Amino acid sequence: MTDNKPNATNLPVLQKWLQSVITNVDGVVEGIDAPDAQRHISVDSSQIESVVTRSDRRTSIQRLEVYAHAYYARLVECLKSIYPLFAKTVGDELFDQFAIAYLQQYPSRSYTLNRLGSRFPDFLEETSPTQGIQELGFEDFLVGLAVAERSIDAIFDGPGVEQQEVMSPAQLEGISPTAFAEATFQMVPCLRLHSFPFPISDFITSIKQEAQAAIPEAAPSWLALSRQDYVVRRVPLTCWEYHLLSRLAEGQSVSQAIEGAVIEAGSSDDFPELLAAAFQKFTREQFFLAIDVSSERREC
- pLDDT above 90 covers a percentage of the chain that reads 59
Query: Is the Cβ–Cβ distance between 40 and 17 less than 8 Å?
Result: yes
pLDDT above 80 (res 139) = yes
Domain positions in the chain are 1-80, 83-157, 162-297
**Mean of the per-residue pLDDT values of the chain:** 88
Written as one string, the DSSP assignment of 141-191 is HHHHHHHHHHHHHHHHHS---TTS----GGGGTTB-HHHHHH-EEEEPTT-
User: How large is the average pLDDT for residues 5-13?
Assistant: 61
pTM for the full model? 0.83
Question: What is d(CA 140, CA 18) in angstroms, rounded to the nearest whole number?
Answer: 39
pLDDT above 80 (res 181) = yes
More confident residue, 231 or 296: 231
What is the reported pLDDT for 233?
Answer: 97
252-290 burial, b at 16+ Cβ within 10 Å, e below that, comes to: bbbebbbebbeeebeeeeeeeebbeebbebbbebbbbbe
What is the reported pLDDT for 77?
Answer: 94
More confident residue, 44 or 79: 79
User: How large is the average pLDDT for residues 245-273?
Assistant: 93
What is the reported pLDDT for 29?
Answer: 85
162-297: CATH topology: Outer Surface Protein A; domain 3 (3.90.930)
pLDDT above 70 (res 35) = yes
pLDDT above 60 (res 295) = no
Out of 11-20, 252-261, 262-271, least confident range: 11-20
What is the reported pLDDT for 9?
Answer: 46
Beta bridge partners of 124: none
